[in-house]
């Protein structure tokens, strides 16, 4: 409680120091569907029904991609695409918020907006880099007067301002323009730059050639004059446009993060891209050969849309940064709405950022692990705990008393006699499709078992997060699903099933699940963060105090809850 109070009074003080209006600057952003008739409708009344309590969002209006997150002189900065005039995409500026803990946030004036010939038609996504001498800069995509996508730099006006409230775009922009062989409308989202041992800076820009997605590579000695390397750092056939690429090193051992320029023994690299064609992301783990300016993925996962994902649900345009204050790498992702544009206009807001996650390499070296930052636990309030609970076929137990619409729940399940698991069909290669076929009501052997979140009292509505265990030829396969088919009685809401396989050792028969539940979002972490799924849901009955939380088993084989603990979550200071 002392920590919470300290942050509360610091935030209150800074709010009075920094408060000011949002300005009247306008710009646009790429790749998201445009509704011109909606993008400037003022959000006079903001509906609180589905607003989150502890996820990042401004007081009203539309947001999308997280941009340029960084830790600078003890303060966390998050920039993000924002429409100051309405709750549909359009009029986008680089909004700016700061924090001391990534939980409590203070909103500042927008940092970047169209004002120059090189970005007159748009200020799109980008990244932040800390240059030698502790000098932060922003690289971002601008749309120039010829409607070309070009890469620009912005510099802080005053490095002595601890909040970096004002940014300047020098007239020597643009730094990077598309060459004659590049698609000028598919050339965007520069990464955080890294400094090679040869003294040259490098940066990636998302690009495509016909149907091949690629990360175009550029080099510079002075961070002002850039040239294109002949070959992309990496590319993959039939993946379409690569938006929001991200490239960074990870340690082979330990959970600590690495500064983006590190390239030494005992590390691998991660390349993540956001696929404009599918609106999903995938990543690979591999080796970066700096002398050849080439990245080669390991052959442990697919290098295409069926590859590994940070998150198998509603999660896009993600961005990581190195948190030098706590020596960790932090991941931010955007979770868009799943209701209709008219619904977003009526409620006066759209879009949230997921809870920031620490990311590190699994000890297998084959995938990343993700976990909500420890600071989120400062919001935990009263808790409820269950001891060992036997869940036979059809078993259902309510977790109470708990504020089930605003909670953090951790549960560990135990399963015996895995020989009774159903056989796994090797043609099941798409976990999302499999989850759509085998939802929470489809009885299996071991599973479905898990949680019914945001549930109404009589289960007319619920969002289920669950596991199924199968027996393959030489191992057990675990499927994790988030089934939204019963999440709302409203027929117009998009209610998909999301799913991913979980690479977990079941020799001890245990598997864990953590879910962060926040009114219209459920973020779930399976097996300690090996598989993550974010769902946006809009119940009409299971809202606020009428929401319930259950643990369930709909398999023919019994499972046990070894331990379950759930916490009420407090509200932080949010913009």
The CATH code of the domain that includes 360 is 2.115.10.20
Given this model, what pLDDT does residue 122 score? 87
366 and 386 part of one domain: no
- In this structure, the strands spanning 531-536 and 521-526 are antiparallel
- Give the domain-ending residue among 372, 391, 416: 372
* Residue 574 belongs to some domain of the structure: no
**Domain around 501:** 382-569
Catalytic pick from 24, 65, 171, 425? 65
Q: Number of structural domains, the chain?
A: 2
Q: What is the CATH number of the domain that holds 424?
A: 2.60.120.560
Residues of the chain with pLDDT under 70: 1-45
257 and 142 part of one domain: yes
249 and 367 part of one domain: yes
189 and 301 part of one domain: yes
pLDDT digits (tens, 9 = 90+) for 185-195: 999 999 999 99
196 and 308 part of one domain: yes
* Residue 57 belongs to some domain of the structure: no
* Residue 58 belongs to some domain of the structure: no
Given this model, what pLDDT does residue 44 score? 61
Given this model, what pLDDT does residue 419 score? 87
391 and 302 part of one domain: no
Encoded tokens for 80: 């993000």
CA dihedral 270, 276, 279, 284 (to 10 degrees): -20
328 and 398 part of one domain: no
- Give the domain-ending residue among 372, 395, 427: 372
Q: Please choose, from the candidates 247, 282, 281, 283, the residue with its C-alpha nearest in 3D space to the C-alpha of residue 267.
A: 247
The total of other beta-carbon atoms located within 10 Å of residue 532's CB is 27
439 and 484 part of one domain: yes
CB 88 within 8 A of CB 351: no
402 and 498 part of one domain: yes
* Residue 146 belongs to some domain of the structure: yes
- In this structure, the strands spanning 123-131 and 135-143 are antiparallel
Sign of the Cα torsion 538, 542, 547, 550 reads: negative
321 and 387 part of one domain: no
* Residue 377 belongs to some domain of the structure: no
Given this model, what pLDDT does residue 492 score? 93
Q: What is the side-by-side strand order in the sheet with 149-156?
A: 123-131, 135-143, 149-156, 167-168
d(CA 206, CA 272): 11
* Residue 507 belongs to some domain of the structure: yes
118 and 247 part of one domain: yes
- 10 Å CB burial of residue 185 (0-12, 13-18, 19+) is middle
Say which residue the tokens 């926040």 belong to: 518
d(CA 453, CA 461): 9
Q: Which helix (H) or strand (E) holds 301?
A: none
d(CA 132, CA 144): 30
* Residue 468 belongs to some domain of the structure: yes
- Give the domain-ending residue among 372, 398, 433: 372
* Residue 167 belongs to some domain of the structure: yes
Annotated catalytic, 408? no
- Whole-prediction pTM value? 0.93
d(CA 384, CA 367): 33
347 and 495 part of one domain: no
Given this model, what pLDDT does residue 499 score? 98
């Amino acid at each position: 409680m002392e920590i919470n109070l300290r942050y509360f009074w610091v935030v209150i003080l800074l709010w009075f120091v920094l408060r000011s209006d949002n300005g009247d600057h306008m710009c646009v952003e790429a790749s998201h569907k445009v509704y011109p008739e909606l993008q400037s409708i003022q959000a006079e009344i903001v509906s609180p029904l589905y607003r989150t309590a502890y996820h990042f969002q401004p007081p009203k209006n539309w947001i999308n991609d997280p941009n340029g997150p960084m830790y600078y002189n003890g303060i966390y900065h998050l920039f993000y695409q924002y429409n100051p005039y309405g709750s549909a995409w359009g009029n986008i500026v680089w909004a700016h918020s700061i924090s001391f803990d990534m939980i409590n946030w203070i909103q500042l004036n927008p940092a970047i907006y169209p004002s120059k010939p090189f970005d007159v038609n748009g200020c799109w996504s980008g990244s932040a880099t800390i240059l030698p001498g502790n000098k932060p800069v922003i690289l971002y995509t601008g749309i120039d007067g010829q409607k070309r996508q070009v890469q620009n730099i912005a510099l802080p006006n005053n490095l002595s301002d601890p909040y970096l409230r004002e940014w300047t775009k020098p007239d020597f922009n643009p730094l990077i323009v598309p060459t004659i062989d590049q698609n000028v409308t598919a050339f965007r989202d520069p990464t955080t730059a890294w400094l090679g041992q040869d003294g040259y800076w490098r940066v990636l820009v998302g690009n495509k050639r016909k149907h091949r997605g690629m990360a175009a590579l550029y080099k510079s000695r002075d961070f002002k004059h850039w040239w294109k390397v002949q070959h992309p750092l990496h590319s993959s056939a039939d993946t379409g446009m690569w938006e929001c690429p991200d490239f960074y090193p990870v340690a082979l051992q330990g959970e600590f993060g690495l500064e983006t320029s590190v390239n030494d023994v005992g590390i691998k690299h991660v390349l993540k891209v956001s696929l404009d064609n599918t609106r999903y992301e995938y990543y690979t783990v591999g080796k970066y050969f700096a002398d050849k300016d080439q990245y080669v993925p390991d052959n442990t996962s697919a290098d295409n849309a069926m590859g590994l994902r940070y998150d198998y649900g509603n999660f896009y345009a993600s961005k990581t940064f190195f948190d030098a204050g706590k020596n960790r790498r932090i991941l931010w992702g955007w979770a868009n709405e799943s209701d209709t544009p008219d619904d977003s206009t009526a409620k006066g807001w759209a879009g949230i950022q997921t809870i920031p996650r620490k990311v590190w390499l699994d000890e297998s070296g084959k995938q990343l692990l993700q976990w909500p930052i420890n600071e989120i636990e400062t919001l935990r309030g009263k808790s409820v705990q269950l001891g060992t609970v036997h869940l036979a076929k059809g078993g259902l137990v309510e977790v109470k008393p708990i504020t089930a619409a605003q909670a953090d729940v951790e549960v560990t399940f135990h399963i015996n006699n895995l020989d009774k698991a159903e056989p796994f069909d090797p043609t099941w290669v798409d976990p999302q499709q499999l989850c759509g076929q085998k939802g929470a009501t489809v009885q299996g052997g071991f599973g479905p078992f898990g949680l019914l979140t945001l549930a109404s009292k009589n289960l007319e509505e619920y969002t289920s997060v669950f596991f199924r265990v199968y027996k393959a030829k030489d191992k057990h396969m675990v499927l994790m699903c988030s089934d939204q088919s019963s999440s709302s009685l409203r027929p117009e809401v998009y209610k998909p099933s999301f799913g991913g396989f979980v690479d977990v050792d079941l020799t001890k028969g245990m598997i864990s699940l953590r879910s962060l539940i926040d009114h219209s979002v459920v973020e779930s972490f399976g097996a300690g963060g090996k598989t993550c799924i974010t769902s946006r849901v809009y119940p009409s009955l299971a809202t606020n105090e009428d929401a319930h939380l259950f643990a369930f088993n709909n398999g023919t084989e019994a499972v046990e809850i070894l331990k379950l603990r759930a916490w009420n979550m407090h509200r932080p200071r949010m913009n």
